Structure 1
């Protein structure tokens, strides 16, 4: 049944489709808040913003045409982003009140919380009273001032920030066109912002300033270093309490801390910032993951290839990477020969295109699936580097599939199957597929609209057929094609972007790739880029934090710790060690002159899945005394029974090396 509100009679009726599929009629100019109030007054009090035809607005935004409307609350990720962006404005207002003369850069929301880059002027970061800032934010929130949006002219905006003597806002204004500039006012504080924002500040009930750091203005090391203040807010106190508890757990699971404790990797300033060095146990961990995926790929029809760590500059000009990624690449390597300029490889795909073109291809040859664990190099700013999650060199589990247009959906579907197999094996159970499409109004993409529409349609159809939980992000596509990024939630509820699959009609054109069809004519193949791990380094960092360093048996670098009670038991320990090695089980013998209790504790700290104690009784009976990581108890079993148990455990986990019992 149609519903409407009383508005001027000269306004036309529009059709509003709600998220539950319910369709209602309203007069033009209805706001999201008024619609929500007609749904439920109690519900309307929880609405933070409104999504109209995919675009997020303030709840007071007027809707002038037929639209699909989705109300955003704290339960929505987009709702949290609005909440935290508004909180950044409150942080700025608190700073302006407490530290007169402060100048403001930008204050966006981030995955968890927000930050504001500020120039403290004559104040110092050390002088910041974080508790006073938190109290001021809550005091401002309790006033429940609305966030008021106002369109202003460029001249008006320049005059405003000139009077405030705020050079950073003035620099931002230089890049904006008249007619696109908006201010938001909340109480006595006014900021340059596109929005959207909360209806009022009273939604914010709990706040914590998390960190204070340095950040170069606009990420440029040549600019002044500002003070970046990180914070997070919640609509209820219990939300903050839970977050802080998980944050403490995250500190314990920090991959850099655990990596050092387990002897997995290290960094050296002499080698270079952002260039990880894998230690023996870390190298074992990497190799185990690599071999796991290599074996699975061969079963699924992939062919291994190897390409160099550098390539001629012309290669990346052809691919478009030199134009689109130049700022992220290391400087070209110039040789004595004028026509020989090389670059550290930023991507593997151009090399794989050249492998494809190395010989004629027929439609019968397709699909061709080339796979490589190829190391690539990107120039990340010093301040952006972070352990294994942000490095300057990383290894991609890269593969490129060259197929006919009629094979695209099937191949894309098979790639998704492989990604989900990897997630299942490594116990990542909660994930979302983020569809990243192009923004037609942006100039950063190559190719024609028809190919883009075809590629985006194929991706949407495949993910729908798979029944995946999806979101869509406009403007986040790769410059050559749309993609699906898999966002995985870890054991602490944090979201990480892991596997990626990209559909590309453009690089085959740029490299003039072809195959001979059944009609005897040349045709262009379609290219699928895929990486279930993404960056191997980043994947391992996330895996460390997800598991807390307690890897499943098949993946643990040290699977068994053998502890002979004394020197006279070392011979039996060596025999057990050799037996385990023959069964592809990684074991170590700890013969240090320490008590067995101390050696057990050390093995527990190394998170070794199984600890075996060997003494007189074990030698006599041909048994092993087994303790499982975190189990507490110890049991004595025949060695052959223990090997059978290992076989069952690794088989249940989808181990690629089967223990031969």
Structure 2
């Protein structure tokens, strides 16, 4: 008789099972309700199929809908396969490529036989998907050889799959998943059958073009996107968020409020209009006051630095493809069509500020008594992002960071990170964000530094967050293996906005690599040279992206202190023009950003127009208000108005317009 396998359950109990037993069998033995609820199994920490037999002694946990992250990934992966089968049935001759799960859904790339797919095709595909779900086809895992895969795809006329299979290494265990007669190469895992999917909890959303393997030299494919959830309620909530997000799109609101624009003459850079730059300046002034109060020293460093500096820091080898490089020579402009020879030294526009801050730190001798040194810069940086990755002002090529680097002794690190976390918490609340998650990104596979250094750096960040009391589920505390920078682990701060979306903005990284590579040191209490620890930190991340997030979070309805135009004085009749000018003048002298609307238009038209521009306060004046020295105050989004003396209105606006730190 074969040796039994010991299966340890989450409560610590142990079951002995025979070889060939599956997690589904264990679930059934525990109870019929559990086997119905189980979607997959977590085997020694890895999610696997319920029907895949145990291979030895195992720690087993069953994945149900309560394990939402794992459950959603399973659902979306299954839906991608179901969609691909539906497409190939409806459009014979279509070739398949890949179909991964995404953060809120799934997509699949296809090579149609006759024409690219359009959004008019989506309802029929959805209907066919529901039929496949209703058939409750089991997902069956099979192990194939590389040659079997190549032969299968070649015989089926699947050129792209055959090409991919030919690139796979010899001897590697290769798997396919079958649902009925349809199959695809896949590592899994999947749920037990298509019937585990809720047929009302998915929707195909759009179609776009995509190059095979992401290379524009290759064939253009049709990519179909979908969103998938555990139940219809979740889907409806997601579709509502999408609808709301479209209304809040920073590009749309930015145009309505005349804040900025983008154009091809400066790909990936923002043209800030006067009102947009008022918003920028208010945010910058607020951040500068907070940094001054927290004992940061502000600096300014060069845009262009010698490539050898980037090579020494390690960025040249790790980040070169994202840097804008400039030959350090002047072409002969008198020669028509002259080009740079490329024989001179190379310079690069800085993609980050950290090496320059180390160079400032190295000016003069630093003592252990000088630390911590907090060095801040609103530094303009450039990164050569791909054209397809650019998105409004959320992802650009030229950006300004609210950057800072803190040089500390090892014994100061935990307390300094704690202070940063508390500053960040206060800033986010001032800017209208009450909810955020903290995640610890751990060492990547390719990295600088010793294992001991990484152990210490990661634990220091854990200890610092613990010191703030924020290493809890309430703060979304999570550790992310392999997602740290090549030189340091980092804490990431993920904001939740008004419609439930998350945005990763703030970071702090514990770095001992860069001070070593750039030879930064201080004189310790023992009289010897020591390396400082360098904390890379940002609260907003970049001004461009954070302003985009602010626009969408507030839907353009900024708190009064941030609003580019805080009030408009609008006349009902021309007889009130002189009084309107006087009201505007008094508001301006009181520090309120105000405009005057004297146009010969009906007041309802003016109200609608200034509401679209998201002006927080409209002060309406007519002949009666002029005679009595009053104003009719209308708030954005309200039909009501309050008639008050001008002095009362000004005092209330001045009080409300104070920044939260003043």
TM superposition score normalised by structure 1: 0.91
Task: Flag the 1:535–1:63 CA change in 2: closer, same or farther, 3 A.
Answer: farther
Q: Distance in 2 between matches of 1:50 and 1:647?
A: 60
- How far the C-alpha of 1:259 sits from its partner, in A, is 1.1
**Residue of 585, 599, 603 corresponding to 1:596:** 603
Judge conservation of contact 2:41–2:60 (CA < 8 Å) in 1. no
1:612 Cα deviation (Å)?
0.4
What residue is the counterpart of 1:151 in the other structure?
Answer: 143
- The whole-number CA distance in structure 1 between the counterparts of 2:325 and 2:153 is 38
Residues 401-451 of structure 1 show CA distances to partners (whole Å, capped at 9, x for unaligned) of: 111111111111122222222221222223221221124xx2x22211111
Partner residue, 2:447: 445
1:25 alignment partner in structure 2: 14
556-565 vs 333-342, greater mean Cα deviation: 333-342
How far apart are the structure 2 equivalents of 1:119 and 1:40? 45
1:65, distance to aligned residue in structure 2 (A): 4.4
Partner residue of 2:188?
Answer: 195
> Does residue 114 of structure 1 match 2:106?
yes
SS of residue matched to 1:27: strand
What's the CA shift string for 1:38-90, capped at 9, x where partnerless? Answer: 66543443333344454333334537446474635266223212211221111
Q: CA deviation at 1:567?
A: 4.1
- In structure 2, relative to structure 1, the CA distance for the partners of 1:344 and 1:121 (3 Å cut) is farther
CA displacement, residues 465-497 of structure 1 (integer Å, 9 cap, x when unaligned): 422321222121111111122222222222222
Question: Which segment drifts farther, 335-344 or 61-70?
Answer: 61-70
Counterpart of 1:537 in 2: which secondary structure? helix
Are residues 116 and 263 of structure 1, via their aligned partners in 2, closer, same or farther at CA, if it must alter by over 3 Å?
same
Counterpart CA distance in 2 for 1:31 and 1:496 is 40
Q: Which residue of 1 aligns with 2:172?
A: 179
- Given that residues 56 and 196 in structure 1 are in contact (C-alpha distance below 8 angstroms), is that contact kept between their aligned partners in structure 2? yes
Instruction: Return the TM-score normalized by structure 2.
Output: 0.91
Contact (CA 8 Å) 2:567, 2:618: kept in 1 or not? yes
Equivalent position of 2:127 in the other structure: 135
Aligned equivalent of 1:257: 252
Structure 2, unmatched stretches of 5+, are 331-341
- Whether contact under 8 Å (2:132, 2:194) holds in the other structure is yes
Per the alignment, residue 389 of structure 1 pairs with 394
Cα displacement (A) at 1:641 = 2.4
Distance (whole Å) between structure 1 residues aligned to residue 159 and residue 129 of structure 2: 25
1:570 offset after TM fit, Å?
A: 3.1
Q: Deviations over 1:228-283 (max 9, x none)?
A: 110112343343333323322221111111111111111111x2322221111111
Asked if the contact 1:403–1:527 (Cα under 8 Å) also holds between the matched residues in 2, the reply is yes
Corresponding position of 2:620: 613
Question: 1:106-139 CA deviation, whole Å, 9 max, x = no partner?
Answer: 2111111111122224332249621111111111
Aligned residue pairs total: 640
In structure 2, distance between residues paired with 1:396 and 1:40: 55
1:161-560 matches, cutoff 5 A: 161-173=153-165, 174-176=167-169, 178-204=171-197, 205-206=199-200, 207-269=202-264, 271-336=265-330, 338=343, 340-439=345-444, 442=445, 444-465=446-467, 466-467=469-470, 468-560=475-567
1:575 aligned to 2:582? yes
| Whole-angstrom CA distance in 2 between matches of 1:395 and 1:317 | 23
Q: Distance in 2 between matches of 1:38 and 1:289?
A: 60
Equivalent pair of 1:215/1:383 in contact (CA under 8 Å): no
Report the Cα distance in structure 1 between the residues aligned to 2:23 and 2:442, rounded to whole angstroms.
Answer: 26
Q: 1:274 to 1:176 in 2, by over 3 A?
A: farther
| Cα distance change on mapping 1:48 and 1:311 into 2, 3 Å | farther
1:554: Cα distance to partner?
1.1
Distance 1:310 1:171 in 2: 44
1:3 aligns to what? none
Match of 1:623 in 2: 630
Paired with 1:293 and 1:560, the residues of 2 have a C-alpha distance of 24
3-state SS of the aligned residue for 2:644? strand
Preserved contact between residue 590 and residue 654 of structure 2 (Cα < 8 Å): no
Structure 1, unmatched stretches of 5+, are 1-7
Does the 8 Å CA contact 1:51/1:72 hold for their aligned counterparts? Answer: no
Superposition deviation, residue 338 in structure 1: 4.8
CA distance in 2: counterparts of 1:526 and 1:565, whole angstroms? 63
Pair 51,359 (structure 1): closer, same or farther in 2 beyond 3 Å: farther
Contact 2:212 2:219 in 1 (8 A): yes
Following the alignment from structure 2 to structure 1, what is the Cα–Cα distance between the partners of residues 517 and 55? 43
Residue 183 of structure 1, CA deviation: 1.6
- For 1:216 and 1:393, the matched residues in 2 are separated by 27
Deviation at 1:202, TM superposition (A): 1.4
Contact 1:305 1:370 in 2 (8 A): yes
Partners of 1:521 and 1:36 lie apart in 2 by 63
Cα distance in 2 between the residues matched to 1:355 and 1:46? 60
Residue 336 of structure 2 corresponds to: none
